[in-house]
């Protein structure tokens, strides 16, 4: 017996142009994150010893985010979790930085992380990142 719920699932993948733009945004986010890693190495070389571990932690975390962006870039509709992890972190750090007050790190951090939230959100929409949670993976439509 077949039951028609009146709800039809969308089976189309993103357009090829939307997919390219979304992946371009992910690539840009990944490159920016690698740039932050390079800057972090410079900061690690100049901080006092009592701040070295926290700066190392932050600097090496940039490599983790670059890896997450690379995973999303390689297969944006096959990932379950990386999209959400990136969003959760970037939104949380943006909110924290905005509410942290008038500290130099907060003032420098929140605009960058907000830009990453926006770019990642656009890429998620353009690449249809939510398709990763479906049982079938779709390729871009022509």
Query: Which residues fall within 8 angstroms of residue 127, CB to CB, at 6 or more apart?
Result: 14, 18, 19, 22, 23, 26, 72, 76, 77
For residue 96, tell me if it sits in a domain. Answer: yes
Distances from the Cα of 83 to the Cαs of 40, 61, 72, 128, in angstroms? 24, 16, 7, 11
Q: Which domain holds residue 120?
A: 16-129
Q: Is residue 56 part of a domain?
A: yes
CB atoms within 10 A of CB 41: 13
Which pLDDT tens digit goes with each residue over 127-138? 999 998 887 655
Instruction: Calculate mean pLDDT across residues 25-49.
Output: 96
> Is residue 137 a part of any domain in this protein?
no
pTM: 0.84
Q: Count of domains in the chain?
A: 1
> Count of H helices and E strands in the chain?
4, 0
């Amino acid at each position: 017996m077949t039951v028609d719920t009146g709800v039809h699932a969308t089976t189309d993948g993103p357009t090829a142009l939307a997919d390219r733009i979304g992946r371009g945004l992910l690539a840009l986010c990944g490159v920016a994150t690698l740039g932050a890693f390079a800057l972090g190495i410079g900061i690690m070389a100049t901080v006092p010893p009592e701040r070295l571990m926290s700066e190392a932690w932050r600097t090496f975390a940039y490599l983790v985010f670059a890896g997450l962006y690379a995973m999303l870039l390689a297969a944006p509709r096959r990932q379950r979790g990386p999209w959400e992890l990136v969003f959760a972190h970037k939104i949380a750090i943006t909110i924290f930085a905005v509410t942290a007050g008038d500290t130099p790190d907060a003032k420098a951090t929140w605009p960058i992380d907000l830009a990453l939230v926006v770019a990642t959100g656009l890429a998620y929409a353009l690449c249809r990142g939510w398709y990763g949670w479906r049982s079938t993976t779709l390729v871009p439509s022509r």
